[in-house]
Amino acid sequence: MTNPATNAGLAPSDKALVPFVSVDHMMKLINHIGVEEMLRGLAAYIEADFRRWELFDKTPRVASHSEKGVIELMPTSDGEVYGFKYVNGHPGNTKGGFQTVTAFGLLANVANGYPVLLTEMTILTALRTAATSAVVARLLAPKGAHVMAMIGNGAQSEFQSLAMKAICGVDEVRLYDIDPAATEKCAANLAGQGLKIVKCASAEEAIEGAQIITTCTADKQYATILTDNMVGSGVHINAIGGDCPGKTELAPAILHRAGIFVEFPEQTRIEGEIQQLDADHPVTEIWQVLTGQAKGRTSAEQITLFDSVGFAIEDFSALRYVRDQIAETGLFHPLDLLADPDDPRDLFGMLQRAKG
């Protein structure tokens, strides 16, 4: 692993230059590595960090809510490296031609506070969300699961589908969205990716024969994407659309029938599907399953639910992964972000000398 205290690919004399991964460089990096290989790499980093979960600073994300959406900061540190992500969620943005979610992130060296990476995270968040979903599905989905229903065919849908293929062995994806154009888009993007794609006319049709059900819708409201009678025994539900107060996708009765697994309960009880339940309703943390401190699926008939809202440690893992990759590929810009005079006490002198 690259030393987090040094800047990727930069000479020691350039210690104040921060590697910046632009959108263009991120796309080049993903295409250089390959989408499925990058999803597997991200999954490995996420799993490794979940296994050392107790080392991290953990806090619910700092959110600023408005009628239009939410802007959030997601910080964490393992004691050596600090990371945060800035992210928004504005469901109405697509009507104006904007993304629902945009993001950027930063890593810094705890020892001196200097940033060591700044990167786009709109694309990276989609990848890390999908990789996290697949890590959990590999733990909880019924044995031999190979069909996924993908309900909500927006920006996340292709990443989710390919992660389940690359990491869990899914070979068929059944698509449904209230907007048929979204389903057509997703099906076209997944053509030739090694998946059997079935376009469905309803959510009920999409879940027929599916062992994994992924819900990923965007409306900021209490919604019922899955009703209780739609969900049979033995399935794994990957609920990733509910990610802020007042935004859910599942009928409460499903939650009462399912074994519920979460990232960080203090955040999920505010933002996830379980905001619909009593505050003391039992849930299991994913890191505990990965480390053997808690059980995952307990029977073939059990309904398992990953109530995923995204957590800062997953972003930390993704940032760490990107930082290690760019050290070898050189896919970054050295960014003149930090004022760093030769004499740390002479910041004003540096300003004066800049007059020329």
> What does the pLDDT look like over 300-313, one tens digit per residue?
999 999 999 999 99
If you average pLDDT over residues 89-107, what whole number do you get?
Answer: 91
Measured CA to CA, the distance from residue 73 to residue 161 in angstroms comes to: 27
Query: In the prediction, which pLDDT does 223 show?
Result: 75
Is residue 2 over pLDDT 60?
A: no
Confidence of residue 89 (pLDDT cuts 50, 70, 90): confident
In terms of pLDDT, which residue wins out, 111 or 224? 111
- Cα–Cα nearest to 199, from 219, 190, 160, 238: 190
Higher per-residue pLDDT: 9 or 144: 144
Whole-number pLDDT of residue 16: 79
Query: For residue 56, which of 31, 78, 26, 29 has the smallest C-alpha distance?
Result: 78
Instruction: Name all domains of the chain by residue range, CATH numbers in brackets.
Output: 15-123+313-353 (3.30.1780.10), 143-310 (3.40.50.720)
What value does the mean pLDDT of the chain take?
Answer: 93
243, 278, 342, 346: which one is catalytic? 243
Q: What is the pTM of this model?
A: 0.93
Angle between helices 312-329 and 23-33 (to 10 degrees): 80
- Per-residue pLDDT at 4: 40
Query: Residue 215: beta bridge partners?
Result: 151, 239
Tens digits of residue pLDDT in 5-21: 356 655 444 667 999 99
State how far the alpha carbon of 351 is from the alpha carbons of 42, 52, 271, 334, 356, in Å.
Answer: 42, 44, 46, 21, 10
- Rounded to an integer, what distance in angstroms lies between the CA atom of residue 171 and that of residue 164? 8
Q: How confident is the model at residue 84 (pLDDT cuts 50, 70, 90)?
A: very high
In the chain, % of residues over pLDDT 70: 94
Question: What are the backbone dihedrals phi and psi of residue 215, each rounded to the nearest 5 degrees, phi first?
Answer: -110, 130
Give the mean pLDDT of 193-211.
97
Decide if pLDDT at 1 tops 60. Answer: no
Q: What is the pLDDT of residues 235-263, one digit of tens each?
A: 999 999 866 677 788 999 999 999 999 99
Taking phi first (over 0 means left), then psi (-120 to 50 degrees means alpha), and beta for anything else, what does residue 34 get? left
150 phi/psi in degrees, rounded to 5: -110, 100
Burial (CB count <10 Å: 0-12, 13-18, 19+), residue 100: middle
Q: Average pLDDT of 253-282?
A: 95
pLDDT of 224? 82
* Spatial separation of the C-alpha atoms in residues 131 and 151, rounded to whole Å: 18
pLDDT tens profile 10-50 = 544 466 799 999 999 999 999 999 999 999 999 999 999 99
The confidence band for 134, taking pLDDT boundaries of 50, 70 and 90, is very high
Residue 202 has pLDDT above 50, yes or no: yes
3-state secondary structure of 142: coil
243 is catalytic: yes
Region 174-180: mean pLDDT is 96
Q: For the residues 322-349, what does the mean pLDDT come to?
A: 94
Structure tokens at 251: 């009928």
Q: Of the given ranges (83-97, 179-193, 293-307, 308-322), which has the lowest mean pLDDT? A: 83-97
Q: Which pLDDT score is estimated for 283?
A: 98
